[in-house]
Chains A and B, each alone.
Chain A
Amino acid sequence: MSALFTKDTQAIFWNNNASAIQRMLDYDYVINRTKPSVAAIVAPTSGNKFEKFFYGPDEIMVPVYRNTAEAAAAFPNADVLLNFASFRTAYDVTMEAIAIKGQFRSVMVTAEGIPERLARKMNQAARDAGVIVIGPATVGGIAPGAFKIANVGGTIENIINSKLHRAGSCGLVTRSGGLFNELSNIIAINADGIAEGVAIGGDRFVGSVFIDNLLRMESNPEVKYMVLLGEVGGTEEYKVIEAVKSGLIKKPIIAWCIGTIAKHFSSGVQFGHAGASANADAETAAYKNTAMAEAGMFVPASFNDLPKTIADVYAKLTSEGIIKEIVEPALRTVPKVRRKKEFICTISDDRGDEATYAGYPISSVATPETGFGIGDVISLLWFKKRYPKWATDYLETVIKTVADHGPAVSGAHNAKVTARAGKDVISSLVTGLLTIGPRFGGAIDDAAKYFKYANDRGMSPAEFIDYMKKEGKTISGIGHRIKSVRNPDLRVSGLKKYAAEHFPSTPLLDFALEVEKLTTSKKDNLILNVDGTIGILMVDMWRALGYSETDIDGFIDAGALNAFFVVGRSIGFIGHILDEKRLGMPMYRHPTDDILYNVEYADEI
């Protein structure tokens, strides 16, 4: 707990600040982190599911969520929130994050000028919840060699020059973010760099103050001494003075308060930050510098002498053997020129010895002894993981069930007409497939969508029927031309039987069967039909496999259900096309006596 961040620390970045995130990832790559430091991005108004970033020479995808709760649920180990919201929303974002119990250890708030009362509430709520707030109005902090917040440290060149790529032995706390880099540089030139550094923020009310950070550094064995850069205004430095006097802090502190200039001018001139104006003598920089020196801290005569003070303390600690020499780690370099990829593929890879389906070499899934069926291959290539056998068996059942429904249905008819016009298999197949849509095959999609919608919102079967009536829609998945309660569709019976025996549970099917009870009480043929059963059971399958409702809605919206129909029915279409070719049937022309002509002759020509 003593170190603020480790090499495993991961953050959720609130706001898609692409350049800052890229700088974090560049840093991660250079210092050889195994995991990127940004686990996820929260962007409430983004429609994207991920953003691409460079990680060294390659690109990686960082997932994007609409709110912090979802991102936190997906990344329970990401315990830092980098709150880059504006001063208008930063308070709400922090409060929302604090409310997620057990998730965040620290929240960094970059916004400057959050209303003071809100900042005070936010800081108190965080303290009560045991969450460290860094900021507001800060560039953040860094644990060199482990984790870097956003823009701290500047360019990679400067990071290396300022020895921010690996832990040194100084704990640095500043108020100013602009001077943080400068102090890191001074410490790098005059000592061995910093072990941990935080810019606490320039607003009047900040979450973690000097003493919070210095006490943590006192207990962090990596930190051998501290540098504190305070500012005119406020009394926070006195808490440090008390801690030094009482022996709570024993490590040497080099301290300086900037803003000694302010004593020369009336209160009208604001030197520095919003927090920086002295309301009493004790709040002036000069007074604080004297008090810190009296408490035994190392205080230079002026800011210009700070480097020498640091060099002296460092030399003393080195000669005492408290600071040991640092072995410089090997670093990776980020290529100067990097090209963004135009396409992304997350399902298969043909770059190795053998192409893979979701990580499985083709040979490991192709032949019968592998135990993989076509259902397994579909689950790998469509859903990026191998489903359990009960589920892949269901997928295969669906494909077999929808493979054909005779020559009269519109898709098959189109395919046959095209084949008879002398077109090839592909053209003929495509005309059949193009028929698939809301009226032909589309009932699977709609049934899944509407039944799930009603079930998600806790509608009763009667309410659902009412709702669909009000919407002016027939209920997809209900009704059959010939089949009825007394003359059941055996395909449906088979699917239901399979599900009852093999699915862990079938909540949506149970709901649909209650709906069917009501509809069939009105008319005998308003049964749950095969399209409805397939779609509804597919939802039950996904639920049992652990997908979230959002994921399942995504599958439905993407047309995955339609896709099963497409695959299955293609088998039948091709059958009809081959049948036509085999029979050598001539060009088809529809008989005119089967067409009602209703065209008036033009009055004038």
Chain B
Amino acid sequence: MAQRAIREYDGKAIFSKHWENYFSGFRYGFKSVLVTSGDDLRVKAQEHGFEWLKQEALVAKPDMLFGKRGKNDLVLFRTAKPGDVTLEEAAKWIDEKIAHETILLTGQKGTLTHFIVEPFTPHSQDQEYYISATTVGEDDVLYLSAEGGMEVEEGWEEKVNEVTIPITMDDANIEHLIRSNVPAGIPEENKERFIAFAEQFYKFYRDQNFAYLEINPIVMVGNDMHILDLVARLDDTAGFMMGDAWCGAEFPTAFGMEDQSPEEKAIALADSKSGASLKLTILNPMGRIWTMVAGGGASVVYADTIADLSGNVSDLANYGEYSGGPTTGETQFYAETVLDLMTRHKDPKGRDKILIIGGAIANFTDVAKTFTGIIQAFEVYAERMKAHNTRIYVRRGGPNYEKGLKDIKEAADRLGLYIEVYGPETHVTDIVRMALEK
């Protein structure tokens, strides 16, 4: 739960839904479609209300959270000259893009799946402006510039006015503040319009619980506003208050992040159904060191320590945690998932696998009870664990920890697994050092 990015299309849909409530006096057409293939676009063009797809010159670009699409040559707005892209050309271009992997200038790679298609808006550079809002420290900051597009990014310090708006400021003072900070470069005939739009933009950003909202560029043609490019993040903790104000916007994973594996999805599903917390991220399925750590903070320090002491972060196979008093069944499921992943690939260098069952001193989680779930998973995976020369290192404290440690030691011994167990007298991450030194 945090600030989460949404698609450009969804951001524009939210603008459109609330336009009349905020931007009175301005017009916004919201001519945008979100498609996943050329055929998808062709079908859309047959729908009532989307005739413009066949009638107007189009712009197509991926809508997958990453920026710098122009520099990555991923904006289709011309074939021979700007503003001559037809429906069929856009559809073909999309099909071509989804057919193979795309590598961005940043090195991120993945397959493009979502595209936003809009009418081409002919305009001149001097009609482009920049506006964005976000939170800096405890305050909101509104950024305004008379120049939009790539130009603003290249001369940020000189070209952008920053308007810092404290959280408790009232509307009258906000309006006054924005008015007195309007960029000097805005032409006189557009000044009042720009001020009015900026005020409304800020209130829209604030009331709709955006964490970040940027239009670059926004093109003003009289009272017609063209949102050419939009980046937005929502504060998803506010979701419960927003009803359908967010138009059902989804929170896609970042481009280049491999989709979650079935195991990660299964743990996420179990997490969503449980009062406890179960998290799993696979960092390197071939990794040698697997962790099963109780508690969010502890899971971080184990990951830190493994990276510090192993000298090679690719040794760390996974990151995750279980906490908040999971049931024995939930712990068993979590443990089996990790053990299954751990025993799929032999270490390429033939080294032992290391399983870290770590945790800080629990507040009130019954350690013996959660260890029962782990022991049950051992029973199922003991042979496979032995086949991978697994060494188990346990460190835990909290209610009933003596019994928990004794139980897990006995079970491992009985199953013929290598195990070392430690309690609160041993430093929480010291088992990582022990495991790596052996």
Please give the residue numbers on chain A whose beta carbons come within 8 Å of chain B beta carbons, in ascending order: 19, 87-88, 112-118, 120-121, 123-125, 128, 139, 151-155, 158, 161-162, 174-179, 181-182, 185-186, 189, 202, 204-205, 231, 235, 258-261, 264-274, 276-277, 285, 302-304, 306-307
Contact = CB atoms under 8 A, between A and B. Distances in A.
Given A304-B427, A304-B429, A259 B300 contact: yes
Interface stretch (B90-98, B112-120, B185-193, B235-243): B235-243
A179 B2 contact: no
B300 A302 contact: no
A202 B363 contact: no
A114 B362 CA distance: 25
B54 to A, nearest CB: 38
B309 interface: yes
A283 to B, nearest CB: 12
A116 B298 contact: no
A546 B280 CA distance: 61
B297 interface: yes
28 contacts: A115-B235, A116-B238, A117-B206, A117-B238, A118-B238, A123-B138, A154-B364, A176-B296, A177-B297, A178-B295, A179-B298, A179-B301, A179-B360, A181-B363, A182-B360, A258-B301, A261-B313, A268-B253, A271-B303, A271-B319, A272-B296, A272-B297, A285-B304, A303-B304, A304-B305, A304-B430, A304-B432, A304-B433
Contact of A270 (B2, B235, B256, B323): B2
Given A155-B399, A182-B428, A307-B427, 12 more contacts: A114-B237, A116-B237, A124-B138, A124-B167, A158-B397, A161-B424, A162-B361, A181-B363, A185-B361, A266-B257, A303-B305, A303-B308
B180 interface: no
Interface in B384-438: 397-399, 424-425, 427-430, 432-433
B1 interface: yes
A259 B316 CA distance: 14
Contacts of B298: 178-179, 182
Interface in B212-249: 235, 237-238, 240-241
6 closest A-B pairs by beta carbon, nearest first, are A176-B297, A115-B238, A182-B360, A179-B297, A178-B295, A261-B303
A310 to B, nearest CB: 11
B209 interface: yes
B278 interface: no
A139 B307 contact: no
Nearest to A128: B168
Interface in B352-369: 360-364
B87 interface: no
Contacts of A114: 237
B254 interface: yes
Contacts of B164: none
B102 interface: no
A151 B364 contact: yes
Given A116-B235, A304-B305, A202 B167 contact: no
Given A88-B240, A179-B297, A266-B256, A205 B313 contact: no
B281 A269 contact: yes
Contact of A304 (B283, B295, B309, B364): B309
Contact of B296 (A19, A88, A202): A202
A230 B10 CA distance: 36
Given A121-B168, A271-B300, A304-B309, A112 B281 contact: no
Nearest to B258: A268
Contacts of A307: 427
Contacts of B281: 269
B211 interface: yes
B168 A260 contact: no
B327 interface: no
Contacts of B301: 179, 258, 303
A174 B257 CA distance: 31
Given A205-B138, A270-B2, A258 B424 contact: no
Contacts of B362: 154, 181
B404 to A, nearest CB: 13
Given A161-B424, A178-B296, A260 B304 contact: yes
A116 B364 contact: no
Interface of B: 1-3, 108, 135, 137-138, 166-168, 206, 209, 211, 235, 237-238, 240-241, 253-254, 256-257, 281, 283, 295-301, 303-309, 313, 316, 319, 323, 360-364, 397-399, 424-425, 427-430, 432-433
Contact of B308 (A231, A260, A270): A260
- B361, B424, B427 interface centre (most CB from chain A within 10 Å): B361
Contact of A264 (B238, B307, B425): B307
Contacts of A152: 363
A268 B252 CA distance: 11
Nearest to B1: A113
* Interface of B (DSSP majority class): mixed
A116 B425 contact: no
Contacts of A125: 168
Contacts of B138: 120, 123-124, 205
B397 A185 contact: yes
A154 B240 contact: no
A303 B429 contact: yes
B168 A124 contact: yes
A229 to B, nearest CB: 8
A186 B323 CA distance: 21
A243 to B, nearest CB: 17
Contacts of A272: 296-297, 299-300
A477 B61 CA distance: 83
A185 B313 CA distance: 29
A268 B363 contact: no
Nearest to A120: B167
A100 B253 CA distance: 44
Contacts of A231: 300
Contacts of B297: 174-179, 182, 258, 272
B428 to A, nearest CB: 5
Given A179-B301, A182-B361, A303-B305, A154 B399 contact: yes
Given A117-B167, A271-B300, A302-B308, A154 B361 contact: yes
A152 B361 CA distance: 11
Contacts of B295: 178-179
A54 to B, nearest CB: 17
- A112, A266, A277 interface centre (most CB from chain B within 10 Å): A266
A302 B308 CA distance: 7
Nearest to A116: B235
Contacts of B430: 304
Nearest to A308: B427
B437 to A, nearest CB: 12
A175 B296 CA distance: 11
Contacts of B137: 235
Given A120-B167, A205-B138, A261-B303, A181 B361 contact: yes
Contacts of A285: 304
Nearest to B206: A117
B307 A261 contact: yes
A117 B234 CA distance: 11
A258 B300 CA distance: 7
Contacts of B428: 182, 186
Nearest to B257: A268
Contact of B363 (A112, A123, A139, A161): A139
A155 B424 CA distance: 13
B403 to A, nearest CB: 13
Given A264-B307, A302-B308, A158 B361 contact: yes
A154 B206 contact: no
Given A260-B304, A302-B304, A87 B296 contact: no
Contact of B209 (A115, A162, A176, A260): A115
A131 B272 CA distance: 35
A154 B304 contact: no
A590 B34 CA distance: 93
A269 B254 contact: no
A289 to B, nearest CB: 10
